[in-house]
Amino acid sequence: MALANRSLVTIDDLSNGEMEALFSLSDEMSDVMDKQFGLCQGKIMASLFFEPSTRTRLSFETAMHRLGGSVITAADVGATSLAKGESIADMARVVGSYVDIIVIRHPWEGAAKVVADYAGVPVINAGDGGHQHPTQTLCDLYTIKKEKKTLKGLKIALWGDLKYGRTIHSLIFALAKFGANILFYPTPSLEVPEHVLKKLTTEYGGGLERYEALAPTAKEGLFPLDAIYLTPSSPHQLAMMPDIDIQVKLKAGVDALYVTRPQKERFTAAEKKQELKEKYPVVDKKLLKSKEFRKTLVMHPLPRVDELAYELDADPRSRYFEQAARGVPVRMALISLLLGAKEITLAQKEALPSTDYPRYQRDSGIRCPNPRCVSVQETETKYLKPEFKIVNRKPLTLRCTYCEHGFEPKYVASADWHEGRTASKKYHSAESHWARKIRTENLIVFNSTDEAEGQGFKPSRYAKVRRKRSKAKTSEPK
Ligand code: NCD
């Protein structure tokens, strides 16, 4: 199986077997780090970091130097033509014509996908806004595997800002892929986004149980958490798992506690205010005295601010500096695979999960509702067509192919039913029975009545009812 010429934009771009093989290659690299000089000699890597970085950028650059390649770098949007209003696609095309591989960090969610679509060379996502950070996940998984030998069945607790932490989002999907259980300990109001949880439970199986819903007896003596994701490879499916079993499982201890800092740079004004009021929880010796954490690996993607006490640096459970150090061999392995300097052999043939959803793409109309998505930025809308996956028909749910935000459009129409007949150009409530009759290829969706009427559609009887209802509620955007 060759990884040559492929890109790593989200953690879904690698199969479990490919990740396992990459970890073996990382072992090889770390054993003889200073003897890999011949592997990528003559190759050039562009390291484009348009957000602050220490570890990721320097470990990528170190990795390329250790492989014998060279590096060109741009670490400030202000010093590039992006500041003059150049699009990401144009930049990608040009940089792709200079180098053999591109590593990009950018504040817009989905930006790495655009670079990968246009560069013509392998692209590695080193963090795109609050979306994903797949190479950090590789370092995280590699560290857990080194210590615990396997990921299957482990209990990994995620702590802190689970809303904006891109390392968290990639890690959640990877843990689920490898059959680990996940315990969510978010800072209040910084919980995992709903679209991430939805993808987790619909695409990776397993179940999510909210702490609130557990019986009081099950909660007794339990360190409070927000929710627990139980992997489908557990002996029981969650739906059938009695609360008492969950309690027994949790009491048996947590294998790793993954701490994250508050991603203040992404907070909304309201979240900034809230942050001043509420203290971000700190992981320290006192907290780790709780019996669940007796043998827990303490992890953190770093940088830390105040959420992880310095007193833990000497604690035998701490692993965060090892996690960071492993960035070099893991990234050496990845670069050499994507450049075709190394090949991997998979132990066994893998059946890849089939999540080939129908696509939704129209020239006009709906845009991704996430204001941080690359597809809605002024410089990018000139050439990027919004594109969505139809991940569910009931309720109708679309997922942006760039930032992966999911949403449920409120109104629909059919391109077929009104063809040439303007009088019958009607739009319907997405919940009506009409909506379900529309074939996927004919589907047109709208988020508001204004959007539908702006395109010349008139409300059907059902849409009128919905509009009345939502006017009564007054909360819904028109
Ligand atoms: C993380 C990042 O940039 O997302 N850092 C890293 O790459 N190691 C985590 C963070 O900034 O909090």
The alpha carbon of 416 and the centre of ligand 1 are apart by a number of angstroms equal to 47
> Cα–Cα distance between 130 and 196 in angstroms, integer?
12
Give the span between the Cα atoms of 359 and 245, in whole angstroms. Answer: 41
Give the residue from 252, 256, 249, 181 showing the smallest Cα distance to 214.
249
Note the pLDDT tens digit of each residue in 274-315: 887 788 999 999 999 988 899 999 999 999 999 999 999 999
Q: Quick one: pLDDT at residue 476?
A: 44
Which tens digit of pLDDT belongs to each residue from 211-246?
A: 888 777 767 766 778 888 888 755 455 555 666 566
Q: Which atom of ligand 1 is nearest to the CA of 327?
A: 8
Q: Report yes or no: 170 and 260 within 8 Å, Cβ to Cβ.
A: no
The CA 302 to ligand 1 mean position distance, Å, reads: 6
Ligand 1 centroid to residue 27 C-alpha, Å: 23
pLDDT, one tens digit per residue, over 417-469 is: 665 565 668 899 999 888 888 999 999 999 899 999 998 889 987 777 766 77
Nearest CA to ligand 1 atom 7: 56
In tens, the pLDDT along 80-121 reads 888 899 999 999 999 999 999 999 999 999 999 999 999 999
Q: Which is it for the CA torsion 169, 384, 52, 338, positive or negative? A: positive
Omega before 303 within 30 of 0, i.e. cis: yes
Protein residue with least CA distance to atom 11, ligand 1: 303
How far, in Å, CA of 47 to CA of 146, rounded? 28
Q: What's the mean pLDDT when you consider all of the chain? A: 90
Please list, in sequence order, all residues whose beta carbon lies within 8 angstroms of the beta carbon of residue 45, skipping any fewer than 6 positions away. 60, 61, 64, 69, 70, 71, 72, 99, 100, 101, 102, 103, 335
Distance CA 451, CA 469 (A): 18
Dihedral angle over CA of 403, 404, 408, 410, nearest 10: 30
**Residues within a 6 A CB radius of ligand 1:** 55-56, 127, 133, 136, 166-167, 260-261, 301-303
pLDDT digits (tens, 9 = 90+) for 322-334: 999 999 999 999 9
**Ligand 1 atom closest to Cα of residue 167:** 4
The secondary structure of 405-430 as a DSSP string is -EE--SEEEETTTTTT-GGG-EEEET
Ligand 1 centroid – CA 54 distance (Å): 9
Nearest CA to ligand 1 atom 8: 301
Task: Say how many Å lie between the CA of residue 136 and the centre of ligand 1.
Answer: 8
| CA gap 351, 337 in Å, rounded | 21
Percent of the chain at pLDDT > 70 equals 90
Residue 51 to residues 85, 103, 161, 300, Cα–Cα distance (Å): 17, 13, 18, 19
CA 4 to chain centre: 23
Q: What is the pLDDT at residue 242?
A: 62
- Residue closest by Cα to atom 1 of ligand 1: 301
- Report which of 405, 402, 376 is spatially closest to residue 387, judged by C-alpha positions: 402
How large is the average pLDDT for residues 33-41? 94
C-alpha 136/C-alpha 130 separation (Å) is 13
Q: Could you tell me the pLDDT band of residue 354, with boundaries at 50, 70 and 90? A: low
pLDDT at 478: 41
* 73, 48 contact by CB (below 8 A): yes
